[in-house]
Structure 1
């Protein structure tokens, strides 16, 4: 008698938290206590900006872990999308009632492309050449935000799936970046985060 093939059992979300509201709230509290003003006598980045970089990197890595596990076959498309949307709901939540509101608003705008790109990967079928997409995206003004986001998300999806981007496209004059440029910078950060997950094989429920 043939042995019945063992079905893969998806992990319970209660055992594996990719990102939590508490984690977000702790970051916000920390940032609110820091200074974002430059010291004219120092070449170092303000402590607030240093912590903000760590904050955004933490979000990138947390979300991309979900996609990595999806690509490894540990999550179905529906499960992966649900988990991405759980983090999205936290990140895109109400702004803090403090001077940090404008900064967090910028963070939320930046991460629109992260969540859009991840959903494109889950849906599948993303095609295109990064070089051509960047060239097209640079023709789009801020009044074409929807198309710019769609283009940047396609680039992001290609990068998640192994494409090369985006440092060489960010060289030059970016003193007055468009929305597309801002999203391209985030795609580059996504690429950097993916490098830290190159050998990602965490067991569910551990290390979180």
Structure 2
């Protein structure tokens, strides 16, 4: 499918995701190393940019609600599919990226279907951290998704807020929302080649 086939936009592709995975597989990854960390962040940001572009297309009326939700589902299926690496450490790193992106997809879908949730981003993040501490991960994810709808609506997410909490799933999820926030502010495509 190309952009000029009946004006249909392509927001993301399995090939694009695979290109990133190939790079991760080829590189000597060390999360402490700046280049390795940047590669993983670019991989995450690239998927968040695809989500931001779908949201923009929806807002501008280029795609309707059904198509936007379908496109989000397609990108989610590509990005969250199981990765087949022999290297356990790299699998863990990719899993971290995938985990961070989970609320990005849900927040975008929620925003398209129901709009932004009333409330404050930081209150939702604090509620999510509280739910995680109580081991209620479904509620925690729900709060992060609600925070995500606020971010999509234009509210600012301050990642420094995470310093108040122990590192865990909520931290990873909020990290994904931070990528989404950056993508919404500047939806420029991350170059696949360095």
TM (normalized to structure 2)? 0.83
Whether the 8 Å contact between 2:48 and 2:104 is mirrored in structure 1 is yes
Larger radius of gyration: 1
Q: CA 1:38–1:76 in structure 2 vs 1: closer, same or farther (change >3 Å)?
A: closer
| Equivalent-residue separation in structure 2 for 1:191 and 1:56 (angstroms) | 12
| Equivalent-residue separation in structure 1 for 2:81 and 2:6 (angstroms) | 21
* 1:140 aligned counterpart, secondary structure: helix
Q: Does 2:122 align with 1:131?
A: yes
* 1:127 aligned counterpart, secondary structure: coil
Aligned position for 1:68: 56
| Equivalent-residue separation in structure 1 for 2:114 and 2:5 (angstroms) | 24
Aligned position for 1:22: 15
Q: CA 1:38–1:123 in structure 2 vs 1: closer, same or farther (change >3 Å)?
A: closer
Whether the 8 Å contact between 2:76 and 2:105 is mirrored in structure 1 is yes
- The one-character-per-residue Cα deviations of 1:170-195 (angstroms, maximum 9, x if unpaired) are 3x356x41211221122122111111
| RMSD over equivalenced CA pairs, Å | 2.3
* 1:133 aligned counterpart, secondary structure: helix
Select 2:95's aligned residue among 81, 97, 105: 105
1:50 Cα deviation (Å)? 1.9
User: Tell me, which stretches of 5 or more residues in structure 1 are unaligned?
Assistant: 1-10, 201-208
Whether the 8 Å contact between 1:110 and 1:183 is mirrored in structure 2 is yes
Whether the 8 Å contact between 1:140 and 1:180 is mirrored in structure 2 is no
Q: How many residue pairs get matched?
A: 181
Whether the 8 Å contact between 1:67 and 1:80 is mirrored in structure 2 is yes
Aligned position for 1:78: 66
| Equivalent-residue separation in structure 2 for 1:54 and 1:13 (angstroms) | 31
Q: Does 2:111 align with 1:121?
A: yes
| Equivalent-residue separation in structure 2 for 1:50 and 1:92 (angstroms) | 20
Higher relative helix content: 2
| Equivalent-residue separation in structure 2 for 1:150 and 1:12 (angstroms) | 38
